[in-house]
Structure formats: C-alpha cells, structure tokens
Chain A
C-alpha cells in the first residue's frame, strides 16, 4: 500500500525533482526552506500540476506516467489533500463541506462513516456553522475531516500547523498521529519545522 513518487518539473525557472516512497502507517515529511517546491510536489501527486516527467503510483495503480502517457485526473486519484490554505467551501456549512466528497462516493468505496470522522476530529458542535466563523484550529479539523471522508488511499498534508497558534498545535498533531496509527494511511507531510518532524517520527525527504 505504498505511494511511489518520482517527479521532475521546471517551474518559474526553478527545477523541482523528487523521488521517494511513502509507506503506510508512516509519515513521510517533505522538508526544506520555503520556495523550494514542496507544495508543487504535493500538487503533482494530487494531479493539480502536471510534472514534466516522472511516474506516480499508488499500490501498483499508476496515477501518472509520462513515458506511458498516463495522467489520471485529480478526481480519480483518491488523494486526501489538506491544503495549507484549507480551501473550505465558503458557501457551504461545515456539514456540507465534510460530506462534499463522501456523497459522491459509491458506498463500496467508503471506509469511514461521517459519524466516525466527526467523532474522530471532535467537530460535532460545528456542523451548522459556515467556514468563515471557525477558528483556525476548528477549520483545520474540518479540512482534515473533509479529506478523510473522501475515502483517500493516501493523505497529503501541507503545513497543517502553520496557521495555528502554539497552544492549538498539539491537538492537530495528535489527530495526525492517530491517522498514522489507527487508519494506517500513507501520509505525505510538508513542513519546514524540524520539531514537527521529530514529534511525528517522520521519515525525512529533503528538497533543495
């Protein structure tokens, strides 16, 4: 159930190249200074940016292969992408944000019920709120819940702590550890903070 990534991209004159494998029940951290292309790697894995060359495969299913001409669109990649800017839908309440992907899934593909996700993340009291009224930590939980309810085969988390003050980081880190240990998903995690890496016992892929 590993995610294999090998991508190359030249963007705004900068060459981005990364090659790594993300194992299940393990957090793999993309580490490096800002501007080095960490988010671009996540975008390529999620199918939002097309690599110039390379190959991406999840558990043997090819998502992208420049040599074979395969480019699976984002809606079929089953990548649970939690964006740094969260991107909750501003016109929908928390409940509809959470269920956005879940409602579209065939029942056989779902592996988590809304009640499980809501309990897992502790967002039950927020369901009727609009995203604009949430605190940073609440919005972060909803964004993670929305991604989990899309029945992802792997998660991509882009600096999930960056918008939170120090006191709220622990709660989100605990959620991420539970995703690793209980859901046993491969997790690709972007950060520039060494403390997060050691706390999560993440395997480090350094981008430079």
Chain B
C-alpha cells in the first residue's frame, strides 16, 4: 500500500507531533491554570498572546521563529552555545513550530476543564488536612485530567496538520522536516504525484478524524466527571 518512503513520512510526522505535544503539555497546563484561576495584571494580554498563533498567518509565526531560533537569533545562539542544539532545518525545529501552533488549542481545552473543577471540593480537601499542593494533586488535577487529555489529543491533531510555520522555519527537507502536509505539498509539485497525494491525504484525514473523536469523547467524560460535586 504505502511505500517505505511514505511510511517514513508518517513516522516522522508522528514523532514530530508526539515530541511537540509532550513538551508543550506542562507549559499549556500552567498557562491554562493561570488563565483559569490567576488574578494578575496583564492577564488579558497573556490570553491574547497565547491565542496569537491561532489567528496570525502561520508564515508570520514561522518567520518569528526564524528570527528567534535561527543561527543568528538570540535563542538559537544560546541553544547552540549552551547545549549544542540546533533547531533550524531540523526535525526538532518542526516540533517546535507545531508546538507553538498547537498551544492555543491545548490551552483552551485545559482551561475549560480547570474552570469546570468544583472549587468546593478543593475547600473540602483543605479541611481534611491536604495542603494546597496536595489538594492540587489529589483533587484538582485528576478532576481536570480528561480535559487535559482531550486538549493533548486535539493539539496532537493540530500538530499533524501544521504546514505554514513549519515550512517557513525549517523548510521542506526529506527525512528531516518533511512531515505529512509538507510531503503532500511536495508531491503536488511532482508530475504523476497524484496517487501519492491521495494516499498521504487519506492518512491525514484518518489520523485527524481519530484524534478528534478521541478528544471529543474525553472532553465529554470530563464534563460528567467534574460536574456533580454534591455526591448525593
């Protein structure tokens, strides 16, 4: 069915998206927590900044990444000097780009589930001897977990589809940064690439559908779970 080159593309896409989501997960949860519970000046600005990748043209996000993480960019130079890590034109850069693009969706889903956690249950945990951190671990986190997983799966799906920021930032290098959408784009340029386009597009649609269904059912479970706080 698929050639080994095409399997390689699928594997690279999954690797890039998985790494992107795993790295973003704690950051997204922290941001979601601050946006749901925090009271601080500049909250509106932070909210807008988190959502920026959702509305700004992806090519702009890619260009900003290029400026920051490129060979001469401030963060890029530091990564190179301190850890010997280069992200430009590497799969790690593709992961970084799709992480940024997936972040707003993940934060939105997590924020909703954190807002759905019944704070009266947290108060109950406190009277039962649990400090703030223990209350978070034993009540708030487990009750918001379905939303966290839903957000992660949604972010994973978004990440699989990431195109504009990726191609701008890390280009379209076979075996390194050529993920599914970039491979489809490249195949479209080739005479006789139609069959390959159709196969890769089919895989893209199947993976996305799967992720969306999983995410939706997780979110539904979360609403049922965190809802009835009275236990009666």
Chain A positions near chain B (C-beta within 8 angstroms): 46-48, 73-81, 83, 85-91, 100-101, 104-105, 131-132, 134-136, 139-140, 142-143, 146-147, 150, 163
Q: Is the CB of A134 within 8 A of B231?
A: yes
Contacts of A101 in B (CB 8 A): 128-130
- CB-CB nearest in chain B for A151: B129
Contacts of B128 in A (CB 8 A): 75, 100-101, 104, 146-147, 150
- Flag whether B139 is at the interface (Cβ < 8 A): yes
Assess A104 versus B142: contact at CB under 8 Å? Given A85-B229, A136-B232, A139-B231: no
Q: Is the CB of B129 within 8 A of A83?
A: no
- CB-CB nearest in chain B for A91: B142
Q: Is the CB of B126 within 8 A of A86?
A: no
- Flag whether B72 is at the interface (Cβ < 8 A): no
Please provide the chain B residues from 127 to 145 with a CB less than 8 Å away from any CB of chain A in the complex: 127-131, 134, 138-139, 142-143
Q: Is the CB of B230 within 8 A of A87?
A: yes
CA distance A198 to B124 in the complex (A): 29
Which size bracket describes the interface of B in this complex? 20 to 34
Contacts of A134 in B (CB 8 A): 231-232
Contacts of B125 in A (CB 8 A): 89, 100
Q: Is the interface of B mostly helix, strand, loop or mixed?
A: helix
Chain B positions near chain A (C-beta within 8 angstroms): 118, 120-121, 123-131, 134, 138-139, 142-143, 225-232
Q: Which of B123, B125, B227 has the most CB of A within 10 A?
A: B123
Given A87-B121, A131-B232, output 14 extra A-B contacts at Cβ < 8 Å: A47-B127, A73-B126, A74-B127, A75-B127, A86-B231, A87-B230, A88-B230, A89-B124, A90-B231, A101-B128, A134-B231, A135-B232, A146-B128, A150-B129
Q: Is the CB of B231 within 8 A of A163?
A: no
Q: Is the CB of A48 within 8 A of B126?
A: yes
- CB-CB nearest in chain B for A79: B127
